[in-house]
Structure 1
Amino acid sequence: MRCPFCTHSETLVVDSRVSDEGDFIRRRRQCAHCGKRFTTYERPDVSFPPIVKKDGRRVPYARPKLQASLQLALRKRPVSTEQQDAAIERIEEKLLATGAREVASARLGEWVMRELKKLDKVAYVRFASVYRSFEDIDEFRALVDEVKR
């Protein structure tokens, strides 16, 4: 593992911990050259099914894209990074559990909305308002009323 600070190739593992869910290992490393510490995460390399967009294009699943969408919806909301990571893990578990060779983006979007609804109602409304492309204010009002219940 190369040091992100000085790019030296020798690093020492100072501490290793398994996540609460047991799905990844967090390692604290120290560079043998500059002495700076950094964290790495080790997780199994799994093959996710491609995502089928509304226009029929097939794109590879991209965790960073999902993460960016959640972070945008949760911007300035009281939700920890750990909670966000856990939500992403649950979505990825569903993605793998389907056993499908490909998954529609609409289905993935519904899973994201379900997770956001559990995490933060405001983030859920933010995401849903963009995702569902409301045509008028009545559709948006119906969504807000649904969240209030």
Structure 2
Amino acid sequence: MQCPSCRADECRVVDSRVAEEGTAIRRRRQCLACSHRFTTFERVDHAPLTVVKSSGDIEPFDRTKVVAGLAAATKGRAVSADTLERMATHVEDVVRLNGNEVSTAVVGLTVLDELRGVDDVSYLRFASVYKHFDAAADFHRELELMEKSAPRAVASD
């Protein structure tokens, strides 16, 4: 690691800590030449994630599009900006498990799964656009699917 002060190549690690909720390591370093102390962060460098659109076009994964879609679906609902960010991070993590190239269908279904666990109305809003609802019967059918997949409470004696 090169010292930002004198550009010497030799330094020692003084302290290491987990940072950014476990996604990085913070290292406090000291230059052996000038004794200047500085901080570095070590993170995983992910391979670029690309999205294959239904038209066949390929473009880089854009997390801001996921956040915008989540924000549109949750507009006016009691869902915080922090929750949207966590959901978008989880969507990116899940789709990354499918490899470096993922279809828009996988991204959309992953967003739907995230919304299902957060807010039913937001889920229906997103589903209506994603699944191209064009009649009230489409909403009714989706509500029936939600009710079937919802965990049921078990009555106890």
Q: Deviations over 1:60-91 (max 9, x none)?
A: 10011111000010111111122211111111
- State the alpha-carbon separation in 1 of the partners of residues 47 and 67 from structure 2: 18
- State the alpha-carbon separation in 2 of the partners of residues 127 and 142 from structure 1: 15
Partner of 1:112: 111
Contact kept? 1:48, 1:95, Cα under 8 Å = no
Instruction: Letter of the 1:140 partner, please give it.
Output: F
Partner of 1:5: none
- State the alpha-carbon separation in 2 of the partners of residues 44 and 84 from structure 1: 23
- State the alpha-carbon separation in 2 of the partners of residues 24 and 130 from structure 1: 37
SS of alignment partner, residue 119 of structure 1 = coil
- State the alpha-carbon separation in 2 of the partners of residues 106 and 142 from structure 1: 20
Contact kept? 1:67, 1:88, Cα under 8 Å = yes
1:142 shift after superposition = 0.5
Instruction: List alignment gaps of at least 5 residues for structure 2.
Output: 1-17, 26-42, 149-157
- Greater shift in the superposed pair: 45-54 or 120-129: 45-54
Contact kept? 2:95, 2:110, Cα under 8 Å = no
Partner of 2:76: 76
1:45 shift after superposition = 5.2
Higher-Rg member (1/2): 2
Q: Deviations over 1:110-138 (max 9, x none)?
A: 00000000111100000000000024332
Identity of aligned residues (%): 32
Aligned runs of 1:17-96 on 2, under 5 Å? 18-19=19-20, 21-23=21-23, 46-96=46-96
Contact kept? 2:47, 2:100, Cα under 8 Å = no
- State the alpha-carbon separation in 2 of the partners of residues 129 and 54 from structure 1: 18
Q: Deviations over 1:5-58 (max 9, x none)?
A: xxxxxxxxxxxx944x43379xxxxxxxxxxxxxxxxx7653342111111111
- State the alpha-carbon separation in 2 of the partners of residues 45 and 86 from structure 1: 19
RMSD between superposed Cα atoms in Å: 2.4
Contact kept? 1:73, 1:123, Cα under 8 Å = yes
- Number of matched pairs: 115
Instruction: Letter of the 2:78 partner, please give it.
Output: P
Partner of 1:144: 143
- Greater shift in the superposed pair: 136-145 or 71-80: 136-145
1:103 shift after superposition = 0.6
Q: TM-score normalised to the size of structure 2?
A: 0.64
SS of alignment partner, residue 94 of structure 2 = helix
